[in-house]
Amino acid sequence: MTRSTWQRVSKRRPCPVCKRPDWCLYTGEPSNPEAAICQRIESAKFCGEAGWLHILHRNGPTWSPRVRRIELSAARIGAKTTDLAKLAADFRAAVQPEALDKLAASLGVSVASLSRLCIGWSAHHRAWAFSMSNAAGNLLGIRLRLVGGKKLSVKGGHEGLFIPGGIDAHGLLLIAEGPTDTAALLDLGFNVVGRPSCSGGAKLLVEVVRRLRPSGVVVVADGDAPGQRGAENLAAVLVAYCPVVRIITPPTGIKDMRVWKRHGATGADVSAAINAAPICKLAVRFQRRVKTHG
């Protein structure tokens, strides 16, 4: 069994599978790669949001790819946002300060942090609205949070990130799940963006990391099993784009970051959890197949 270190592809060293210069990973010498994790061409070995594993070294198992090319351009996702932009602006204008104060109090976050996330109100849906954008800040969709907590999205949009206004382009970047956990971390003084779900937004988050070039990334996972799996899959992708990636989880028995804050968590508590978390490393184990005779 050998453990290999992964590197991201580039224009000088494109993916050995799809021949493209972005998104994918490879291991081994650039002139003789042992394996690749390609996000465009499938194989029988799926590695979550990291992509599909292709073994290239003769000593390892091989899978013939099922050729299915996948378009990864984030710009293509936001092709139709004109009506959504007007709708989002109308939602923001419809916010009543008294109602926003009550929402902030019920969630345990500040009005200021919700405002940084461009919160709005949809009278038609009777729901709070949060804009979702791509790495460049262009609107992709609108998330609706009904009064009872149920979550929907406005038709015609696409899944995106919750990116607060005034985000810092340097230092540590935290990644939360959903807009309210993002607001909680903003209240605690962190630089943070929100993903749309425990398994969504990986490709857009890669673009954010490439744009901001943070000194480190911390994925803040929910305490349940899907949240843990989603955080691990995201970290496995981001290690190719940031030298320091960690995962933290609220203490046992606490569901998410917003609940942790309501239980009294401070910025110092979160920082201590970050410092105690190990740095993630992406590795794949290669196992030779041994033929048996009998």
The CATH code of the domain that includes 96 is 3.40.1360.10
Which domain range does residue 11 map to?
2-55
48 with 171, same domain: the answer is no
Length of the chain: 294
Please report whether residue 285 resides in a domain. Answer: no
97 with 130, same domain: the answer is yes
166 with 257, same domain: the answer is yes
User: Strands 32-38 and 120-122: what pairing?
Assistant: unpaired
82 with 49, same domain: the answer is no
User: Strands 216-220 and 285-286: what pairing?
Assistant: unpaired
Please report whether residue 105 resides in a domain. Answer: yes
CA atoms of 287 and 96, how far apart (whole Å): 61
CA atoms of 122 and 201, how far apart (whole Å): 24
221 with 189, same domain: the answer is yes
CA atoms of 10 and 236, how far apart (whole Å): 18
Q: What is the pLDDT of residue 67?
A: 43
Secondary structure of the chain as H, E, C letters: CEECCEEECCCCCCCCCCCCCCCCEEEEECCEEEEEEECCCECCCECHHHCEEEECCCCCCCCCCECCCCCCCHHHHCCCCHHHHHHHHHHHHCCCHHHHHHHHHHHCCCHHHHHHCCCEEECCCCEEEEEEECCCCCEEEEEEEECCCCEEECCCCCCCEECCCCCCCCCEEEEEECHHHHHHHHHCCCCEEEECCCCCCHHHHHHHHHHHCCCEEEEECCCCHHHHHHHHHHHHHHCCCCCCEEEECCCCCCCCHHHHHHCCCCHHHHHHHHHHCCCCCCCCEECCCCCCCC
Each residue's pLDDT tens digit in the chain (294 positions)? 234 478 888 888 898 888 888 878 888 887 888 888 888 887 877 776 667 888 886 544 444 444 444 444 433 333 344 488 999 999 999 999 999 999 999 999 999 999 999 999 999 888 999 999 999 989 999 999 997 778 888 988 899 999 999 887 678 999 999 999 999 999 999 999 999 999 899 999 999 999 999 999 999 999 899 999 999 999 989 998 898 999 999 999 999 999 999 999 999 999 999 999 999 876 555 555 555 555
